[in-house]
């Protein structure tokens, strides 16, 4: 519920603090006094776009603050939590508009985006003016209204869930068919790659193992060649061992003949003993086991084949192995796609049947509710000054859609003998306002929006019809906080509360003010609306207010 609206430097309003009360409140005043400015300020609190012209001439900014009691509005508290704002029982929405048209919005001091403010505003206030009448001409709102009246929430949720499932299956069928088409076109290519890669029988680490073996084989060949050369030097014809033995023999012969050579013979024997031992060891050495030349050739060929595949597919061995698995899966998938499509077709048929079944239940619920809805709206239209009007809801079958299998449209014949026509063609703006009021009255206890605002819903009517509209607004005020701008004393006198908007000129500047009227002030305002100041008129005004308490 709106408790208070504070306005500063907003167009014609220099400063005003306006209290609001529960039930039905009438907003009255002379034409041009600024009643629409008050509603415009409320629209700004709800997230309307700001304009530089809204800032009062000579001021730096306009400020509007709306205070709302949301103690009994759990859905609004939940919305605030989604904005990461603590949901107190009272919220203050502050809107600042700078002279360049830019501005800021805050909820309980927290800066919020305009889109978030608009979302909150839609939950707090519902405006019914010319733009909302245009909305009523949109047939999509007719389906929403009838379903809300019928209480089809659970049935719609079930239908929406099944609708989403059905569309998901249909999308999957399309994607599978497209995939099958693409894979079939590439089948030969995929099979060639799979055959080539699977024939290679790659495994991770194989290339490194082969390279290590080839390196070791290369070292073994070097070892063999060097050992052969060493052993040939040592034990070959006229090798080192033979030469040493010949040297020792000659030295021994010389020492036998010339004794002083004995010392050289001794030294030679001492030096040659370990050398001969090492040479004998070297003569018995054999090279380590190594790959044969044929094995080395095979290893090198395998390495070359692996590297060729790596270059061709521009990936490493792990990538080649993964690609082999992918190609195998794709070929297997191609073989199984027909079976998959057949299974998806069965699922689609089953879900479509479920969807049609729910749609039939939804259509039946709508038809049954439409009878009650039409009768209630038509009775109210008769009471609102359209005594010969007929109202009905047209339900025509259509293909399955997001909201069911019905094309729903409200039809109206304002005058007898003309036949029902759509709201787009059959009604004037004033008549459409009454249709809107009648629908809102019928749905009063279902509508979750706490504040309803009707902008000149009584435009173009007078007399007894005005009384009926006042009664309808008063009854609507039992379920909601209701505000309406009115020029009819019949409507204003039926309000529980009344705000008077007036303007005056001071030093060449126009100032609009808003006053919350007490009983005496309401009498004065009703007198003005009746069009004359006399004791008889005043007594009539008092009687009107007394009768409508």
pLDDT per position as a tens digit, 56-70: 988 999 999 999 999
Do 79 and 183 share a structural domain? no
Do 208 and 103 share a structural domain? no
Higher pLDDT residue, 284 or 382?
382
Overall size of the chain counted in residues: 549
pLDDT in tens, 225-236: 776 777 678 777
Is 134 inside any structural domain? no
User: Residue 70: which of 89, 85, 92, 42 has the closest Cα?
Assistant: 89
Domain span holding position 297: 152-360
User: Residue 469: which of 453, 443, 490, 452 has the closest Cα?
Assistant: 490
Do 348 and 464 share a structural domain? no
pLDDT score of 289 more than 60: no
Q: In total, how many domains does the chain have?
A: 2
pLDDT in tens, 136-179: 777 888 998 899 999 999 999 999 999 999 999 999 999 988 88
Q: Buried b vs exposed e over 381-398: b needs ≥16 C-beta within 10 Å?
A: bbbbbbeebbbbbebeee
Is 46 inside any structural domain? yes
- Model confidence at 434, pLDDT cuts 50, 70, 90, reads confident
What is the maximum span of the chain, computed from C-alpha positions, in angstroms? 178
Do 93 and 3 share a structural domain? yes
Give me 121's structure tokens: 């505003």
Do 156 and 119 share a structural domain? no
- Confidence (pTM): 0.63
| Spatial separation of the C-alpha atoms in residues 344 and 338, rounded to whole Å | 10
pLDDT in tens, 471-494: 888 988 888 899 998 889 999 999
| Spatial separation of the C-alpha atoms in residues 94 and 50, rounded to whole Å | 13
Is 432 inside any structural domain? no
Q: How many angstroms from the chain centroid is the CA of residue 525? A: 51
Within a 10 A sphere around the Cβ of 493, how many other Cβ atoms? 28
Provide the sign of the torsion angle of the four alpha carbons 193, 194, 199, 201, taken in this order: positive
pLDDT in tens, 89-148: 999 999 999 988 888 999 999 999 999 999 998 888 877 765 555 567 778 889 988 999
pLDDT score of 42 more than 70: yes
| Spatial separation of the C-alpha atoms in residues 167 and 133, rounded to whole Å | 34
Q: How many angstroms from the chain centroid is the CA of residue 107? A: 23
CA distances to 19, 93, 468 from 66, in Å: 10, 5, 31
Do 334 and 255 share a structural domain? yes
Do 156 and 125 share a structural domain? no
User: Do 474 and 496 contact (CB within 8 A), yes or no?
Assistant: yes
Domain boundary among 360, 386, 410: 360
If DSSP codes are grouped into helix, strand and coil, which group holds residue 201?
A: coil
Do 285 and 197 share a structural domain? yes
Average pLDDT across the chain, whole number: 86
Do 157 and 81 share a structural domain? no
| Spatial separation of the C-alpha atoms in residues 391 and 414, rounded to whole Å | 8
User: Do 379 and 386 contact (CB within 8 A), yes or no?
Assistant: no
User: Residue 522: which of 483, 485, 482, 494 has the closest Cα?
Assistant: 494
Is 249 inside any structural domain? yes
Run of H or E residues at 67: strand 61-69
| Spatial separation of the C-alpha atoms in residues 243 and 279, rounded to whole Å | 12
Helix axes 317-383, 293-313, angle to 10 degrees: 20
Is 421 inside any structural domain? no
Give the CA-trace dihedral at 347, 353, 358, 361, to 10 degrees. -170
User: Residue 440: which of 135, 86, 119, 41 has the closest Cα?
Assistant: 135
User: Do 143 and 403 contact (CB within 8 A), yes or no?
Assistant: yes
- Judged on CB neighbours under 10 Å (0-12, 13-18, 19+), 406 is buried
Do 221 and 111 share a structural domain? no
Is 39 inside any structural domain? yes
Q: How many angstroms from the chain centroid is the CA of residue 368? A: 35
Do 175 and 120 share a structural domain? no
Domain boundary among 336, 360, 384: 360
Domain boundary among 307, 335, 360: 360
Identify the CATH number of the domain in which residue 106 sits: 3.40.50.300
Do 327 and 182 share a structural domain? yes
pLDDT score of 224 more than 80: no
| Spatial separation of the C-alpha atoms in residues 138 and 378, rounded to whole Å | 20
Higher pLDDT residue, 297 or 128?
297
Is 457 inside any structural domain? yes
| Spatial separation of the C-alpha atoms in residues 466 and 460, rounded to whole Å | 10
| Spatial separation of the C-alpha atoms in residues 180 and 197, rounded to whole Å | 23
**DSSP type of residue 535:** H
Is 484 inside any structural domain? yes
Residue 8: per-residue pLDDT: 94
């Amino acid at each position: 519920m709106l408790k208070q609206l504070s306005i500063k430097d907003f167009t014609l309003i220099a400063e005003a603090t306006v209290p609001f009360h529960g039930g039905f409140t009438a907003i009255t005043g002379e034409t041009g006094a600024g009643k629409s400015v008050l509603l415009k300020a409320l629209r700004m609190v709800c997230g309307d776009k700001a304009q530089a012209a809204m800032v009062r001439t000579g001021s730096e900014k306009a400020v509007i603050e709306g205070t709302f009691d949301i103690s009994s509005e759990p859905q609004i508290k939940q919305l605030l939590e989604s904005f990461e704002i603590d949901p107190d029982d009272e919220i203050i929405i502050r809107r600042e508009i700078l002279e360049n048209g830019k501005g800021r919005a805050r909820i309980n001091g927290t800066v919020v985006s305009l889109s978030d403010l608009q979302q909150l505003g839609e939950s707090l206030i519902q405006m019914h003016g010319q733009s909302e009448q245009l909305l009523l001409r949109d047939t999509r709102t007719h389906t929403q209204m009838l379903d809300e009246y019928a209480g089809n929430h659970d049935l719609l949720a079930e239908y929406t869930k099944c609708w989403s499932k059905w569309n998901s299956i249909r999308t999957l069928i399309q994607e599978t068919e497209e995939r099958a088409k693409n894979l079939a076109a590439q089948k030969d290519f995929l099979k060639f790659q799979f055959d080539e890669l699977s024939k290679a029988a790659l495994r991770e680490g194989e290339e490194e193992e082969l390279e290590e073996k080839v390196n070791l084989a290369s070292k073994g060949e070097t070892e063999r060649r060097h050992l052969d050369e060493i052993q040939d030097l040592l034990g070959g014809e006229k090798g080192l061992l033979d030469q040493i033995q010949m040297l020792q023999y000659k030295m021994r012969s010389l020492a036998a003949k010339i004794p002083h050579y004995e010392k050289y013979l001794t030294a030679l024997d001492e030096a040659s003993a370990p050398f001969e031992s090492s040479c004998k060891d070297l003569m018995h050495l054999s090279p380590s086991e190594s790959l044969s030349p044929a094995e080395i050739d095979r290893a090198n060929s395998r390495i070359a084949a692996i590297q060729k595949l790596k270059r061709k597919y521009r990936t490493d061995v792990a990538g080649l192995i993964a690609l082999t698995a992918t190609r195998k899966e794709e070929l297997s998938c191609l073989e199984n796609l027909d079976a998959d499509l057949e299974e998806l077709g069965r699922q689609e048929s089953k879900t479509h049947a479920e969807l049609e079944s729910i749609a039939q239940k939804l259509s039946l619920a709508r038809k049954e509710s439409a009878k009650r809805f039409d009768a209630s709206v038509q009775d109210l239209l008769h009471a609102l000054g359209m005594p010969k009007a007929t109202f009905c809801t047209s339900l025509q079958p259509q293909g399955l859609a997001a909201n069911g299998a019905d094309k729903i449209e409200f039809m109206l014949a304002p005058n007898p003998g003309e036949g029902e026509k759509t709201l787009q063609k059959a009604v004037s703006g004033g008549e459409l306002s009454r249709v809107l009021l009648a629908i809102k009255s019928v749905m009063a206890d279902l509508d979750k929006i706490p504040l309803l605002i009707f902008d000149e819903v009584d435009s173009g009517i007078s007399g007894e019809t005005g009384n009926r509209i006042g009664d309808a607004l008063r009854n609507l005020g039992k379920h909601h906080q209701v505000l309406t701008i009115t020029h009819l004393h019949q409507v204003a006198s039926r309000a529980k509360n009344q705000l008077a908007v007036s303007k005056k000129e001071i030093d060449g500047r126009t100032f609009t003010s808003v006053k919350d009227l007490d009983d005496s002030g309401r009498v004065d305002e009703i007198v003005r609306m009746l069009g004359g100041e006399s004791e008889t008129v005043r007594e009539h005004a008092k009687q009107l207010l007394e009768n409508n308490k």
